[in-house]
């Protein structure tokens, strides 16, 4: 299944369902990952029409980029794939700090090029803002790398509206990636109107809210991982959230679809959300994510889902 969309003002066209590759070599994020399975995830994506792969230096660290680079070299179809990666994390005296300085971003792009075994990166993000670097100066460094042909598009991630406006002072930002899902909708207030006005694509991460919007949990579900401290999964709030998910299930059942497919399809109706990057730990999850593109929501269904999560 393939639906093509343009990212912002760029010349990059991607399948509206991409692949978030933080579980490909992301050993610091997920325990007991099998790297060969991770490479199979990437292969499955490429073999099934997904041409938008999202990774980052910090996934591993470095391992995700390295594994994706191996698959790209093996497949030999680099020109058909849109690769996005990110950097900002820097180790200083044993602690990770954010660095958006032009020197660090330039070094990061060059290092990512080596790990990905390519001579250009399609979309390069500043992963997190730092406390010191003027945002337009950081983006200006990426513009120089774009002019040099090392990157094709400029992204920022986890930027507030003020930081985004500063970063985009010269109109060079093409894509913003930040957290957004039906339980966390604060970007709808200022950020989505800004990205729509300025032709900046918005790519949400955590679209299924740590799995809660996937429709797999019930009131007896117990959690011993990071979700155990997530307010969405606590007590009465968890029960209220499950009730909302069950209302989406009614729509999904009528379409012979999964809750996750309906939720992801709803995001694709939002202004400036041109593509999604759901993750996958197994190849079959990649092909399952693509079923989102089979879901067609009516205007009434779009409005109903909106109301469910505003109540």
293 inside domain: yes
Please give the average per-residue pLDDT across 189-218, as a whole number. 96
- HEC per residue, the chain: CCCEEECCCCCCEEECECEECCCCCCCCCCCCCCHHHHHHHHHHHHHCCCCEEECCCCCCCCHHHHHHHHHHHHHCCHHHCEEEEEECEEEECCEEEECCCHHHHHHHHHHHHHHCCCCCEEEEEECCCCCCCCHHHHHHHHHHHHHCCCEEEEEEECCCHHHHHHHCCCCCCCEEEEECECCECHHHCCHHHHHHHCCCEEEEECCCCCCHHHCCCCCCCCCCCHHHHCHHHCHHHHHHHHHHHHHHHHHHHHCCCCHHHHHHHHHCCCCCCCCECCECCCHHHHHHHHHHHHCCCCHHHHHHHHHHCCC
The pLDDT assigned to 213 comes to 97
By percentage, how much of the chain surpasses pLDDT 70?
Answer: 100
Tens-place pLDDT, residues 51-68: 999 999 999 999 999 999
228 inside domain: no
Please give the average per-residue pLDDT across 79-94, as a whole number. 95
Tens-place pLDDT, residues 108-150: 999 999 999 999 999 999 999 999 999 999 999 999 999 999 9
Please give the average per-residue pLDDT across 176-180, as a whole number. 98
109 inside domain: yes
| Domain span including residue 161 | 4-211+268-297
The pLDDT assigned to 229 comes to 85
By percentage, how much of the chain surpasses pLDDT 90?
Answer: 92
The pLDDT assigned to 156 comes to 98
The pLDDT assigned to 1 comes to 66
Q: What is the CATH number of the domain that holds 73?
A: 3.20.20.100
Mean pLDDT of the chain: 96
170 inside domain: yes
Active site residues: 59
The pLDDT assigned to 291 comes to 97
289 inside domain: yes
247 inside domain: no
The pLDDT assigned to 228 comes to 81
Tens-place pLDDT, residues 268-309: 999 999 999 999 999 999 999 999 999 999 999 999 999 999
Our count of domains for the chain comes to 1
Given pLDDT bands bounded at 50, 70 and 90, which one contains residue 191? Answer: very high
Tens-place pLDDT, residues 229-282: 899 999 999 999 999 999 999 999 999 999 999 999 999 999 999 999 999 999
251 inside domain: no
Res. 225: pLDDT tops 80: no
The pLDDT assigned to 124 comes to 98
250 inside domain: no
């Amino acid at each position: 299944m393939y639906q093509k969309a343009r990212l912002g003002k760029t010349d990059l066209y991607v399948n509206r369902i991409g692949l978030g590759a933080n579980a490909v070599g992301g050993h610091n994020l997920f325990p007991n990952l099998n790297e060969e399975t991770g490479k199979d995830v990437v292969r499955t994506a490429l073999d099934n029409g997904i041409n938008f792969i999202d990774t980052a230096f910090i996934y591993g660290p470095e391992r995700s980029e390295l594994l994706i680079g191996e698959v790209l070299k093996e497949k030999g179809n680099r020109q058909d794939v849109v690769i996005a990666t990110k950097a900002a994390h820097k180790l200083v005296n044993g602690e990770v700090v954010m660095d958006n300085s032009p020197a660090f971003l330039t070094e990061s792009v060059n290092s990512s090029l080596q790990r990905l075994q390519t001579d250009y990166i399609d979309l390069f993000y500043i992963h997190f803002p730092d406390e010191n670097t003027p945002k337009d100066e950081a983006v200006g460094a990426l513009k120089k790398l774009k002019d040099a042909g090392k990157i094709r598009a400029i992204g920022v991630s986890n930027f507030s509206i003020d930081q985004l406006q500063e970063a985009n002072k010269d109109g060079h930002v093409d894509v913003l990636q930040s957290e957004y899902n039906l339980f966390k909708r604060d970007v709808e207030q200022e950020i989505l109107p800004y990205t729509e006005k300025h032709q900046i694509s918005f790519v949400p991460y955590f679209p299924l809210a740590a799995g809660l919007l996937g429709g797999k949990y019930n009131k007896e579900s117990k959690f011993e991982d990071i979700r155990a401290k997530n307010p969405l999964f606590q007590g009465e709030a968890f029960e209220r959230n499950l009730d909302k998910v069950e209302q989406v299930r009614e729509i999904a059942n009528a379409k012979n679809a999964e809750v996750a497919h309906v939720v992801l399809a709803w995001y694709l109706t939002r202004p400036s959300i041109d593509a999604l990057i759901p993750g996958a730990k197994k190849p079959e999850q990649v092909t399952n994510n693509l079923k989102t593109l089979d879901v067609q929501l009516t205007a009434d269904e779009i409005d109903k889902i909106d109301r469910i999560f505003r109540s």
